[in-house]
Amino acid sequence: MGAGFLVGVIGVLILSHATYSTIQYRALLKITEEEFSGPPIDVVIELIISLVLCLWAAMAAPGKFKSIHPQSEENRVIALPANLDFMIFNHRGKIFPLETELKLK
């Protein structure tokens, strides 16, 4: 969770730097009076790096997939109260007074 989030933050930072570089490039083009035909190559490389980092973050940060099969290893839960054959009522706890009425007050 933490590592994926950090990678995403780095990706967004690189992306904002790429935005800033492109704005400066546009300003340069305005001075030299040329037409914009695409961002410079270093911006494209930055964009690709940030896309890869954000893809990694998008896979790592939101959490893991969980199996939907009821018989799979992680879904197998042994519910003890459902195991009615092993419930015992004839034990020494029955001599203690019931305190359910006291809780009601």
Partner 1 sequence: MAGHDNINGSTEKSSSSMDDLPTFNAENMQNNMKVILYSRTFMAIIGGVIAGILGLTSLTGFIFYFLVMAITSAALTAKAKFSIHSYFDSWNRLVLDGFFGGLMSFVLFWTFAYDIVHIF
Question: What is the contact surface with partner 1 in residues (CB under 8 A)?
Answer: 8, 11-12, 15, 18-19, 22-23, 26, 36, 38-39, 43-44, 47, 50-51, 54-55, 57-59, 61-70, 72, 75
- Please report, as a single letter, which amino acid is at residue 46: E
Do 61 and 4 contact (CB within 8 A), yes or no?
Answer: yes
Neighbours of 46 (CB within 10 A): 19
Residues 6+ apart with CB under 8 A from 43: 18, 21, 22, 25
Q: How far is the CB of 80 from partner 1 (least distance, A)?
A: 20
Q: How far is the CB of 38 from partner 1 (least distance, A)?
A: 7
Query: Distance (Å, rounded) from C-alpha 16 to C-alpha 2?
Result: 21
Pick 69 or 94: Cβ nearer partner 1: 69
Q: How far is the CB of 75 from partner 1 (least distance, A)?
A: 5
Pick 74 or 99: Cβ nearer partner 1: 74
